[in-house]
Amino acid sequence: MNEAKVQTGPLGGSLSEQTTRPDCAVIALSHVTREYSGHAGVVRALADASFSIVAGEWVAITGPSGSGKSTLVNLIGCLDRPTAGELKIDNVDVASMSATELDRFRADKIGFIFQQFHLIPYLSAVENVMLAQYFHSMTDEAEARAALDKVGLGSRISHLPSELSGGEQQRVCIARALINHPPILLADEPTGNLDAANQTIVAELLQDLHRNGHTIVMVTHDPEMAGLAQRKIALSHGKVFCHPVGGPMVTLRR
């Protein structure tokens, strides 16, 4: 694991200390490998990855196409399991969990923000938020309305996704990701489908969330978005080749 410059982290102490202390980590990978078997033989999508992310940290995962970003996000998002190595989310080893346990764990621990929003087209904004509650525990419309209010969509709760702009749809997606209070927000190219104005809105929302102590793991190609994160994890050919602690938080310039 590469060590980097010392910077104060959200839990106090230095980030470099936190990333090397698994007990402080909300996400901890230790020699994680993911291989896929296909017609062309075994493909190693992620090789021997080891790093930690502490609670409250904002990490950007970068790398070219085919570098293993999606594989890493699938693993952290509990949508997949490693072929080898240890992957701990909130101090629980998910590699040994059954599919059913993983479903439950995912609903509890991970809030997803997708590039393409992925809202159910026949459900209103508030119902899309309630959908995450439905699969987690019980639906609570008041709470879902409040979540939409927080992302500035209090007046759009009854609208269908087709009646919302791209930026508004992404904000519904963020409200849905937050509704069950997961410890980790996993954002996959959250501004990739948005125009400049909406990118700014979403970036500011993520900054607010980070300030409020949310752990954010964000995959992005956008250097400016990556610059908002405290730390970058760069991937190339399935290998984590650096994860330096970033510089000071930057102000988004658009």
Partner 1 sequence: MATLSLTGMLHRSLVHRRARSVSALVAMTVSAGVATALLTLYADLDTKLHKEFRSFGANIVITAHANASLPTDAVARVQQAAGADALAAEFAYAVATTDKGTPIVVAGTDFAAVKRLDSWWQVDAWPDAAVMDSALLGQRAAQFVGNERAIVLTYAGRAITVSGVGRIRTGGDEDSRIYMPLVAFTAWTGVGPSVIELQVPGGVKRVEATMAKLQQELPEVQVQPVRQLVEGESKIVDRTHALMYGAVLLIALTVAVSVLATLSASVLERRRDFALMKALGGSQRTLMGMFLLEALVLALSGVAAGFVVGSAAAWAISEGNFHTATLPHLSVLPMVLLLNVAIASIAALLPLRVLRGLQPAALLKGE
Task: Please state, in angstroms and rounded to a whole number, the distance separating the CA atoms of residues 219 and 70.
Answer: 8
Site for partner 1 (CB under 8 A): how many residues? 37
Residue 86 three-state SS: strand
Assigned token pair, 162: 């087709």
Task: Quote the least distance from Cβ 149 to partner 1, whole Å.
Answer: 16
Would you say 198 and 170 are in contact if contact means Cβ atoms under 8 Å apart?
Answer: yes
83, 115, 200, 207: residue in contact with partner 1 (rule CB under 8 A): 115
Q: Which is nearer to partner 1, 141 or 195 (CB)?
A: 141
The verdict on 121 binding partner 1 (CB under 8 A) reads yes
Would you say 177 and 202 are in contact if contact means Cβ atoms under 8 Å apart?
Answer: no
The verdict on 122 binding partner 1 (CB under 8 A) reads yes
Q: Which is nearer to partner 1, 135 or 241 (CB)?
A: 135
**CB-CB neighbours of 131 under 10 Å:** 17
Footprint of partner 1 on 147-186 (CB under 8 A): 176
6, 84, 120, 250: residue in contact with partner 1 (rule CB under 8 A): 120
The verdict on 194 binding partner 1 (CB under 8 A) reads no
Radius of gyration of the chain (CA): 18
Task: Please state, in angstroms and rounded to a whole number, the distance separating the CA atoms of residues 82 and 244.
Answer: 24
The verdict on 33 binding partner 1 (CB under 8 A) reads no
Assigned token pair, 35: 């291989």
Piece of 43-51, 114-122, 195-203, 234-242 that binds partner 1 (CB under 8 A): 114-122
Task: Please state, in angstroms and rounded to a whole number, the distance separating the CA atoms of residues 65 and 238.
Answer: 11
The verdict on 63 binding partner 1 (CB under 8 A) reads no
Q: Tell me the sheet residues that pair with 187.
A: 113, 218
Q: Tell me the sheet residues that pair with 172.
A: none
37, 40, 42, 142: residue in contact with partner 1 (rule CB under 8 A): 142
The verdict on 187 binding partner 1 (CB under 8 A) reads no
The footprint of partner 1 (CB under 8 A) covers 70, 73-74, 77, 79-80, 99-100, 103-104, 106-108, 112, 114-116, 118, 120-123, 127, 130-136, 138-142, 176, 188
